[in-house]
Chains A and B, each alone.
Chain A
């Protein structure tokens, strides 16, 4: 037997759990793994004795669950009403162009990922994005490009 994975550890906290614990388990799995992987979803299904189609159905119902690993820099772009009025659609488009990925994806080098969120709750800073939980206010094309360049530069100097 291989060493217990992070998912196994999560499931240890849910012995004898029934299907009503599906969402809390998925949240814990995502917190541990960063996303819901296929093997993890299968383990959860087996643990709760429910079909994997059910797990996938529930997980895809909610925006909070991801099915791809997030990047080292996880960019959340607020698409709430205030940010929308202040041009967040353009911010999202720019972000996708600069990184060369669609929202929900992760760059091939694993550095960046984009997630669209409904409202971050910082409307005064609109349009706002958050990178790994750190907020960046009144974002525009130049700011965004600069931000990404800085992260890349930091990575390059780290690597050398």
Chain B
């Protein structure tokens, strides 16, 4: 069908919303409550446009395109209405923007500037609700909430956790947990997808920059750092570089400049994880262990199973996540090798993830009262740490990471994207079970953005069913199928966030999905470009086994690299 937008002819398909049509045509319409790929909610009204013949302005996000419509997106009436919407939202909003951690990414602030709001037109007494800083991962400031509802939808529709919802009504309403409990006692899995969609500073990661700064300047402390596979392809966005730019080498140099005594790559530990996990899978297949086996790298997923699917706990791989494996190796093997008391090591990990902040607080993740990891910073916090230190990534020369945990295969690097753990594991499982490399190495079926990816493939005589799912809503679907007796899958990779760690709750705020796809492509490009592409061929991993661990699933591995899980209670679950 045909319609006109600001006097220009435009084509549209039946069933499309006006917003879809306008965006395709490159006509900018602001949104606050709209979520790409989801049904519109029409809550915020910032996307209103004028349609000839319609008495009222119409919300473009939820209004279907129709034949012959004449749309104005920038008429004085439209602009005035949008400005009023912003002014109303600001009526009860705190004006401490100078001190707000969300800056400069605040979408409300941007709209206020774009529409020239320069004073408070509707002064409304603010209801002071206290901060909720109960969670180790996420801090909530209800006063900054504009009730767009995106966090509620991310939590319910994307993640199927639904620990938050609108509470009360009208001007009394706020976003809260059941019984207005604090986030930490709810069924929240700490994934931070709510943080990623929040347009204001109402939801932020809990900052751990201060203790890291203190450790860096403490002469008694030996500060070391590890960085997750997806960080090097997303950090650049915080500094205005295109999405998908790999800054691995200069980031390593930057860590040293900030005073870290050693820089390790979590992708090395991902290779280590693969050795343990592929061996565990082979062991389960041979000895009739619980199948399908689920991966255990993603701490949000682990908490999800502990909370919602305790009956599937035996199906979780007992492998610690790469972060925790490396944490354990640093404070045991590395400490001994370099004659450093483990308690003086301050081990920091840079993660795309808010749930990792929770994972390090799990009491089983350490020895003798000494946690394996001392602090976790998100990619966003890392960017701030770099700014505090006045470091310009563009001015640095790439450097190599420190041994013995610096070398990685590209298989380990793939851990950053959905399907990557599966692909890495298949490469190694194939080698362990058949003694031969997996043909082309690339497993196309588990690549890409789809939420559930399945494949059947032959490893020697064995035919295995594998799946890679991302987003807990998708994981729940598969978990239900397995609970109901589905038997054709042997190995399932689950990543908590849609698309995997590249879209983690701690990543740079992406304005659209293209950035996420670019980050994914960057990881595949690294895999295509380098020679060392399998975890079992990583000489540094082989050396670690020879020198210290013995063999995969051996006694040392059991103590240091594996863990256990337990059913978890929450205030909002019987």
Residues of B within 8 A of A55 (CB): 178
Query: What's the nearest-Cβ distance from chain A to residue B198, in Å?
Result: 17
Q: How many residues of B contact A (CB 8 A)?
A: 20
- A60 and B167 form a contact (CB under 8 A): yes
Contact residues of A between 51 and 80, Cβ < 8 Å to B:
51-57, 60-62, 67
Which chain A residue has the least Cβ–Cβ distance from B169? A61
Which chain A residue has the least Cβ–Cβ distance from B162? A51
Which chain A residue has the least Cβ–Cβ distance from B156? A51
Of A52, A55, A61, which is in contact with the most chain B CB atoms at under 10 Å from its CB? A52
Q: How far is the CA of A45 from the CA of B163 in the complex (A)?
A: 12
Query: What's the nearest-Cβ distance from chain B to residue A132, in Å?
Result: 27
- B168 and A53 form a contact (CB under 8 A): no
Residues of B within 8 A of A57 (CB): 165-167
Q: Interface on chain A toward B: helix, strand, loop, or mixed SS?
A: helix
Q: How far is the CA of A53 from the CA of B574 in the complex (A)?
A: 13
Q: How far is the CA of A95 from the CA of B100 in the complex (A)?
A: 43
Which chain A residue has the least Cβ–Cβ distance from B174? A60
Which chain A residue has the least Cβ–Cβ distance from B160? A51
- B168 and A60 form a contact (CB under 8 A): yes
- B574 and A51 form a contact (CB under 8 A): no
Q: Does A145 contact B (CB under 8 A)?
A: no
- B163 and A53 form a contact (CB under 8 A): yes
Q: How far is the CA of A54 from the CA of B161 in the complex (A)?
A: 11
Given the interface pairs A57-B167, A60-B168, the reply to whether A46 lies near B178 with Cβ below 8 Å is: no
Contact residues of B between 250 and 285, Cβ < 8 Å to A:
none
Of A54, A57, A62, which is in contact with the most chain B CB atoms at under 10 Å from its CB? A57
Q: How far is the CA of A115 from the CA of B258 in the complex (A)?
A: 60
Q: Does B33 contact A (CB under 8 A)?
A: no
Q: Does B399 contact A (CB under 8 A)?
A: no
Q: Does A38 contact B (CB under 8 A)?
A: yes
Q: Does B457 contact A (CB under 8 A)?
A: no
25 pairs across A/B with beta carbons < 8 Å? A41-B178, A42-B572, A43-B574, A45-B574, A46-B574, A51-B163, A51-B178, A51-B187, A52-B179, A52-B573, A53-B164, A53-B165, A53-B176, A53-B177, A53-B186, A53-B572, A54-B162, A55-B178, A56-B165, A56-B176, A56-B178, A57-B165, A61-B166, A61-B169, A62-B169
6 tightest A-B CB contacts, nearest first: A51-B162, A52-B178, A57-B165, A52-B572, A53-B165, A56-B178
B interface with A by C-beta (< 8 Å): 156, 161-169, 176-180, 186-187, 572-574
